[in-house]
């Protein structure tokens, strides 16, 4: 059974960085300040997945990085983490959930499609990626929160 808990302690933060390095070995390490809230998925006393979210403007909730370690993949954890964060976004007063994926992230895109997300064209105001070099290589996703 998987239990999701917010990252609160220094030990949680160490696990978060460890999971991030496992899931994104070639990407830049996550920055704690990139999310308002980070969460860990625990299988017993072992963390197996993580995700974060923050506000973007007044009414958008932005899913930042999420990852599932190899041995826990294939059971829909990414989809569960979308639902979890949508609830937190709604509670924080946002009305729309947004995110982006690489164009080759098939599993992520399928998780988003199953969760009801649609693709949109990024504009200067709504592009979520800071580095302009990546603006046109990302796929942007959004969903009105029910």
Ligand X SMILES: CC(C)(COP(=O)(O)OP(=O)(O)OC[C@H]1O[C@@H](n2cnc3c(N)ncnc32)[C@H](O)[C@@H]1OP(=O)(O)O)[C@@H](O)C(=O)NCCC(=O)NCCS
Q: Write the DSSP symbol of residue 56.
A: E
Number of residues located near ligand X, criterion CB under 6 A? 21
Burial of 111 per CB tally in 10 Å (0-12, 13-18, 19+): buried
> Under the criterion CB under 6 A, does residue 101 sit at the interface with ligand X?
yes
Query: What would the x/- binding string for ligand X be over residues 25 to 64, using CB under 6 A?
Result: ----------------------------------------
Burial of 49 per CB tally in 10 Å (0-12, 13-18, 19+): buried
> Under the criterion CB under 6 A, does residue 137 sit at the interface with ligand X?
no
> Under the criterion CB under 6 A, does residue 76 sit at the interface with ligand X?
yes
Q: Considering the complex, state which of residue 9 and residue 26 has its C-beta at the smaller distance from ligand X.
A: 26
Comparing CA positions, the residue from 94, 95, 140 lying closest to residue 117 is 140
Chain contacts with ligand X (rule: CB under 6 A): 23-24, 66-68, 73-79, 101-102, 105-108, 110-111, 114
């Amino acid at each position: 059974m998987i239990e999701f808990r917010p990252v609160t302690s220094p030990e949680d933060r160490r696990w978060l960085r460890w999971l991030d390095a496992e899931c994104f070995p070639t990407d830049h390490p996550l920055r704690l300040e990139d999310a308002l809230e980070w969460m860990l998925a625990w299988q017993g006393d072992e963390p197996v997945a993580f995700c974060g979210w923050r506000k973007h403007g007044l009414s958008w909730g932005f899913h930042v990085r999420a990852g599932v370690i190899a041995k826990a993949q294939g059971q829909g954890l990414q989809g569960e983490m979308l639902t979890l964060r949508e609830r937190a976004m709604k509670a924080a007063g946002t009305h729309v959930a947004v995110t982006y994926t690489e164009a080759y992230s098939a599993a992520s895109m399928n998780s988003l499609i199953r969760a009801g997300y649609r693709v949109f064209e990024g504009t200067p105001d709504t592009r979520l990626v800071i580095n302009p070099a990546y603006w046109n290589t990302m796929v942007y996703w959004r969903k009105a929160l029910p």
